Structure 1
């Protein structure tokens, strides 16, 4: 971790020349939630037909499991619109999911056998089968329990007209596309230096059901005595080794110093054989177990805390899209579901993320080294397991610095960015969001994980009972609301059209699946 140092000249230039652009930041949210039965077990029902096709619906799809719907908002430059979209989608799906409930926690409900976790189904087309087999491969590689962990992804970009003037300010005479990519990569490098802040502030998974761990956890977790395990000072077990993990990824190093380097390293990983995955087999007894036996089946298997992204064309791989057009936006992937907000993320969190990401852009960003990457990873690990521990030390150039001191120093450098966003958008929301974060740094019990764990322990029902009751209250809230005819009609129309689109895709396939895969990876 490096000392935060905002570029005051860059800030002054943006305030003087580009402040209007800050009213048009682009945001989009992808939010996952498990479907569970009324007694808290994982749903085994298929994706509700009334929601449309998980393959082609623009708003409602599935992630890893058939029981893990993913809600997708359109990109919007209105800071309030993403949450409104999420609210509307929640209203619609709750009207069409029978007696099931959306689990409000990131870590899952009661689990039985791994084989009982249903893989997401996308139909019989080549693209649908590829998505399904990819998930089958993940199950063989890491176990299916990993496929029922839920989170929130936050997509962020600046408007296109921000970049030409900012390039002039930076005295860069190169290609604009390359300049934009380099600036986003610089944002990402700074994000990785300070992203331990997100699980500290907004991690909300300090406890889990014992059924999830399968004996893992050891001395890290305490036994609540009712089937629950928890970390006394943990913030986000979802982001720990108990949650998302891929040990094979230690065989390659992804840096964000140069787009070609980043793309080439991912390309190498999806073309390098792995001995263990070869032993699993690719096609066994006529059925695909995985797409291939490489370190990564596809680029998305790389479990990053943040990703450089570009909207892909049909049949295009993510790395090909980045090669073609450069970085278009960044995807933040370190957020737990907020169990205290009905849509899983609060407006205050969104406002803080805007400040944080713009702050990461408006400062110098030197290249990453393997040593710094290791230090960043260790700071993140310490925070997810022990983030609320008094006097927890984080590493800064191999020396320990108290987490609270490090957080407050970063927030102080972020303050002018929050003030600028407030001024540009004629609001006080950004400084208020930063103020809330400062209070959480000073008082760890005010963090989401602190609130959740204290409430859970006082509730005396354990992780399952407390989360189940919160989930039922959230369901009742949405069912008691009146959904507008316009919203209902919009999502009904998209559901019907998506089913027709899937049918057309299936009918238009002319290649065998083997040929389709061959062309996709060519």
Structure 2
């Protein structure tokens, strides 16, 4: 712990922790594939009983009709967030017949990419744009990669924190600019520690061999059961070049040294033509869109990154337009696998540890990221997702090589005073419990989520499919039987009904043509930075 960080934490400790640190604001977005009773991808449309995927605030779809996304409201309580997630699952389970949710990040058995139905949202311009974007993703990267599931964690500091933190740092800029600058510093530090979450919580060391059909790869996979492939020390193949971290974007440079630089890089990518993507064409012979454009990125969401700066957009706004208007509102962490040992895919101690890591990233000094810094982060991530549990694995810090265990123990030590502050006055020592649990994982990698998963697969010579289907059946019964924690069944039924009516209202309203709608949307994206 540096003297500067100690000084800053001492000053924070003199404030009202209940106002400045403890009410961290958070939301969870958790993806799950719908599967049939045999454990294969469901071919049915998004269940109407769930409500409208376009307008429902808590149950929607991602890439595919079969890929459900659960979204919790923003709260300052970890328990409340998890209760909301469990309630949404309970309602869905009660309205999906014999289908279940696949409890792993890497997809279930899919015999052909053509059997992955692209999500449909209706006939409004917004709905058509969402579907066209997904068609573009299919053309550019293939559908198999798009049905990898994950958990996204949205994080923001309470409003009361910022003026106090600004005073501690002696900053005199306006609060909005100060907050954005601090969040960008958090992002830069997070990239330096990005390997930590896949090591601790990665849950995709194995995959169904059907996932690799048509893919060129040279990883030294070993085989389990009838068709499961694994790497003995892997942690998160979802975060490898096979999965969420797409090699097609390896040459795309996005600067995180300021919000202005970040927005300009995204704007450039969205407006720069791509020869590779132009070959697919913008429209087919009948004049139907095949993708939103033929540029490097169709829209901002196409950027594959482990973390993003975000602001809730107003109707019609692009994500970068929202950032230009009001600065960064919250941070979205995107590098978390679905935890197969949790009925809802994530647990309390995981969330608490992420809070701690993000607080450290915010409090620590964060210089600019140069090419060497970025390359170290990439190399460390590749090592950890492929062989993070290998004994004696070495990583690279700016000061030189260091063992993963030594670096992990150092991070835990630096998180200790933050954990004590966040636990101050609380009945449960959740944050200190989270640190103790993760310290054991750095010292005994077999206790990590991937280590526990591989132990069960290898011990029983199990396929991913057998293991996943068993858990899916178990979790459906569990969450169907438990009572609602936050809301009632009638609440969820009303939410579904309201969302269907909202979609109908959108489709009935007069609107410009789809061509005009898209032209106007992308014109807004290119407005100059104005913070």
TM-score of Structure 1 vs Structure 2, range by shorter chain: over 0.9
Q: Does 1:231 align with 2:231?
A: yes
Say whether the 8 Å CA contact 2:83–2:485 is kept in structure 1. Answer: no
Over aligned residues, Cα RMSD in angstroms? 1.5
Residues in 2 aligned to 1:467 and 1:389: alpha-carbon distance in whole angstroms: 25
Map of 1:488 onto structure 2 = 489
Please name the residue that 1:37 is paired with.
36
Aligned twin of 1:82 = 81
- Report how far residue 251 of structure 1 moved: 3.3
1:253 to partner: Cα distance: 1.1
Q: Deviations over 1:300-351 (max 9, x none)?
A: 0001100000010001000010010000110000000000010100111011
Deviations 1:436-472 (A, max 9, x none): 0000000000000000001011122221111111111
* Rounded Cα–Cα distance in structure 2 between residues aligned with 1:318 and 1:459: 46
Does the aligned pair in 2 maintain the 1:125–1:509 contact within 8 Å? no
Distance across 2 between alignment mates of 1:467 and 1:510: 45
1:60 matched residue in structure 2: 59
Task: Tell me the SS of whatever aligns to 1:251.
Answer: coil
Partner of 2:527: none
- On the 8 A contact 1:34/1:148 being kept in 2, the answer is yes
Question: 1:241 maps to what in 2?
Answer: 241
Report SS of the residue matched to 1:105. coil
Q: Deviations over 1:29-56 (max 9, x none)?
A: 0000000001111011011111100000
Q: Name the CA distance, whole Å, in 2 between partners of 1:18 and 1:189.
A: 28
Q: Which whole-Å CA distance do the structure 2 matches of 1:30 and 1:509 have between them?
A: 32
Which segment drifts farther, 486-495 or 511-520? 486-495
Counterpart-to-counterpart distance in 2, 1:257 and 1:511: 38
**2:218 & 2:249 partners in 1: Cα distance?**
24
Q: Does 1:184 align with 2:183?
A: yes
Q: Is contact 1:234–1:385 with CA below 8 Å preserved after alignment?
A: yes
| Residue matched to 1:109 | 108
Bigger drift between 355-364 and 434-443 goes to 355-364
Matched residue, 1:170? 169
> What's the CA shift for 1:360?
1.1
Q: Which residue of 2 aligns with 1:373?
A: 374
Residue 127 (structure 1) aligns with? 126
For the Cα contact (< 8 Å) 2:224–2:462, is it kept in 1?
A: no
Matched residue SS, 1:223: strand
Q: Stretches of 4+ moved more than 4 A in 1?
A: 3-6, 483-486
**After the TM superposition, which of the residue ranges 153-162 and 484-493 deviates more from structure 2?**
484-493
Distance 1:87 1:6 in 2: 41
Are positions 1:91 and 2:90 aligned together? yes
Q: Distance in 2 between matches of 1:217 and 1:449?
A: 21
Alpha-carbon distance in 1 for matches of 2:61, 2:504: 18
CA-CA distance at 1:222 after TM superposition:
1.0
1:10 is matched with 8
Give the aligned partner of residue 71 of structure 1. 70
Q: C-alpha offsets along residues 348-372 of structure 1, whole Å, 9 cap, x if unaligned?
A: 1011111111111111111111110
User: CA, structure 1 residues 427+494, in 2 after alignment: closer, same or farther (shift >3 Å)?
Assistant: same
Partner secondary structure for residue 391 of structure 1: coil
Deviation, 1:510, is: 1.7
Q: Distance in 2 between matches of 1:467 and 1:4?
A: 45
- Contact 2:33–2:107 (CA<8 Å) still a contact in 1? yes
- SS of the residue corresponding to residue 317 of structure 2 reads coil
Query: 2:394 matched to which residue of 1?
Result: 393
- The farther-off stretch of 398-407 and 280-289 is 398-407
Residue 486 of structure 1, CA deviation:
4.5
2:17 is the alignment partner of 1:19? yes
| Partner in structure 2 of residue 210 of structure 1 | 209
1:452-491 pair list within 5 angstroms: 452-483=453-484, 486-491=487-492
Q: Is the 8 A contact 2:245 2:305 kept in 1?
A: no
Distance 1:38 1:345 in 2: 24
**Mapped partners of 1:259, 1:95: distance in 2:** 44
Aligned to 2:320: 319
**How far did 1:485 drift?**
10
Query: Residues of 1 paired with 2:427 and 2:167: CA distance?
Result: 27
Greater alpha carbon shift after TM alignment, 16-25 vs 171-180: 16-25
| Separation of aligned partners in 1, 2:16 and 2:444 | 36
Partner of 2:449: 448
Q: Assess if the C-alpha contact under 8 Å between 2:84 and 2:485 holds in 1.
A: no
What is the alpha-carbon distance in structure 1 between the residues aligned to residue 399 and residue 393 of structure 2? Answer: 15
Where structure 1 has 5 or more consecutive residues not aligned to the other structure, the ranges are: none
Q: From the superposition, tell whether residues 484 and 186 of structure 1 become closer, same or farther in structure 2 (CA, over 3 Å).
A: closer
Residues 483, 430 of structure 1: CA spacing in aligned structure 2 closer, same or farther, 3 A cutoff? closer
- Listed as ranges, the gaps of 5+ residues in structure 2 are 524-531
CA distance 1:402–1:239, shift in 2 (3 Å)? same
Query: What secondary structure sits across from 2:439 in the alignment?
Result: helix
Contact 2:338 2:345 in 1 (8 A): yes
User: Secondary structure of 1:32's match?
Assistant: strand
Change in CA separation of 1:219 and 1:58 when aligned onto 2, cut-off 3 Å? closer
Deviation at 1:491, TM superposition (A): 0.9
Which secondary structure state, in structure 2, belongs to the residue aligned with residue 80 of structure 1? helix
CA displacement 1:231-250 (0-9 Å, x = unmatched): 10000001111112433423
TM-score, scaled relative to structure 1: 0.97
Residue pair 1:193, 1:376 contacting (<8 A) in 2 also: yes
Q: Determine the C-alpha separation between the residues in 2 that align with 1:376 and 1:250.
A: 13
- Give yes or no for contact 1:40–1:110 (8 Å, CA) kept in 2: yes
Checking the alignment, whether the CA contact within 8 Å between 1:23 and 1:425 is kept in structure 2 is no
Which region of structure 1 is more displaced relative to structure 2, 266-275 or 350-359?
Answer: 350-359
How far apart, in 2, do the equivalents of 1:60 and 1:170 lie? 41
Deviation, 1:216, is 4.2
